[in-house]
Amino acid sequence: EDELKRAEERVKNAEARVVVIEDELQAIGENQKQLEVSEEKARRREEKYQEQIKQINIRLKQAEARSEYAEMNISKLHLRIDELEDEIIREKLKINAVSGQLDDTFNEMLNKY
């Protein structure tokens, strides 16, 4: 009878430990589910950030290409400005020469008459 009581006591203790372990397993299972959900959310955020980085890199490359094209155009425009300034100087020299010739012609005409 004592053995039976001790056996029943051990069974009760074992059953109590089983309940405690089952509760712990349930809590661990819930924690694992929460961790999996958190991991999935983090993975989706990471994918979203990677896509944003990809799009930003594409825009950066496009901006760099536009900048390079603009710099080439600026260089071409500076060359054209230099050419036009040289042409203006040449035209002014021609105008001065023609003006001088006109002055000489008017002076000759005035001297003759």
No. of helices (H) and no. of strands (E), the chain: 1, 0
Question: Does residue 92 have a pLDDT over 90?
Answer: yes
pLDDT (0 to 100) of residue 9 = 92
Q: In this predicted structure, what is the pLDDT of residue 112?
A: 86
Q: Assess whether pLDDT exceeds 90 at residue 113.
A: no
Report the percentage of the chain scoring pLDDT > 70. 100
The pLDDT, as a whole number, for residue 1 is 80
Tokens of 27: 């809590």
Q: How confident is the model at residue 99 (pLDDT cuts 50, 70, 90)?
A: very high
The confidence score (pLDDT) of residue 2 equals 86
